């Protein structure tokens, strides 16, 4: 009978940055792209966050594929359902390695924020729960906390100062029912969170991102429950 085996191997990962790497950046925004995106595309979307003392980082997921057929535009994916535990472990180790590589090139005690878009939202939340780095803001745009996280542990010792959901009114992936289900899940687990709502679909809009950056508190508690 055939037998399946696993072998850990070295991979070459790629990431994009914008901003100083000379030890002066005291704010870091790491953006994790969605399914079938490329890191450079997400970095373009994050440009409203750019500032003199801010480093933007966009790592690219390790699995690439042709978006259509066998040639043309290429996208990347953080994971699939196949050997999912190994893929999660691999990308968590990758993001840890990236943090360790860049930390010496930042200001001491630089604050890390993470924005995950779509599939990158689950990736971002898993890394937040896993990493030893204390995060400032965890922004989940067009996505939610990973379904397999221990929310009781999260609530007891939050890995980020603030969890924020950014939700488009016409997002085809985050229906009103799914959003309500996620808000109930977070509320029952007593995970503190804020909500930013906007008129639009499954995409990062510069004006909305600027508003999110300027007003981290998001919606009030009463608005979150509506």
- pLDDT level of residue 225 (50, 70, 90 thresholds): very low
Give residue 217's Cα distance to chain centre. Answer: 18
Tell me the average pLDDT across 14-40.
98
Roughly how many angstroms between the first and final C-alpha of the chain, as a whole number? 56
Q: How far apart are CA 196 and CA 212, in angstroms?
A: 7
SS3 122: helix
Question: Looking up tokens 């488009």, which residue turns up?
Answer: 168
Q: How confident is the model at residue 130 (pLDDT cuts 50, 70, 90)?
A: very high
Mean pLDDT over 28-47 rounds to: 98
Instruction: Give the pLDDT band (50/70/90) at residue 144.
Output: very high
Is pLDDT of 210 > 70?
yes
Mean pLDDT of 52-66: 97
Q: What is the mean pLDDT of residues 28-39?
A: 98
Percent of the chain with pLDDT over 90: 93
CA angle (35 as vertex; 33, 155 as ends), nearest 5:
65
Residue 120 has pLDDT above 90, yes or no: yes
Asked whether residue 158 carries a pLDDT value surpassing 60, the answer given is yes
Confidence of residue 92 (pLDDT cuts 50, 70, 90): very high
Q: What confidence tier does 219 reach under pLDDT thresholds 50, 70, 90? A: low
pLDDT of 221 over the 60 cut: no
Measuring CA to CA, which residue among 108, 213, 122, 118 is closest to residue 168?
118
- Model confidence pLDDT, tens digit, residues 98-110: 999 999 999 999 9
CA distance 44 to 56: 10
Question: What domains, with CATH codes, occur in the chain?
Answer: 15-225 (3.40.50.1820)
């Amino acid at each position: 009978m055939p037998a399946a085996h696993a072998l850990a191997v070295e991979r070459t990962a790629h990431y994009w940055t914008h901003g100083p790497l000379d030890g002066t950046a005291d704010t870091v925004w790491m953006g994790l792209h969605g399914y079938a995106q490329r890191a450079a595309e997400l970095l373009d979307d994050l440009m409203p966050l750019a500032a003199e003392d801010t480093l933007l980082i966009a790592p690219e997921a390790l699995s690439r594929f042709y978006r259509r057929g066998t040639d043309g535009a290429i996208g990347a994916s953080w994971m699939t359902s196949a050997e999912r535990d190994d893929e999660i472990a691999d990308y968590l180790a990758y993001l840890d390695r990236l943090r360790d590589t860049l930390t010496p090139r930042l200001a001491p005690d630089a604050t890390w924020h993470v924005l995950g878009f779509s599939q990158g939202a689950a990736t971002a939340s898993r890394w937040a729960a896993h990493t030893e780095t204390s995060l400032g803001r965890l922004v989940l745009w067009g996505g939610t906390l990973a379904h397999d996280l221990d929310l009781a542990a999260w609530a007891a010792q939050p890995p980020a100062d603030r969890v924020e959901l950014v939700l488009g009114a016409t997002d085809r992936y985050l229906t009103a029912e799914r959003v309500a289900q996620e808000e109930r899940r977070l509320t029952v687990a007593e995970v503190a969170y804020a909500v930013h709502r906007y008129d639009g679909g499954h995409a990062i809009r510069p004006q909305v991102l600027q508003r999110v950056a300027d007003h981290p508190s998001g919606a009030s508690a009463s608005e979150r429950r509506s």
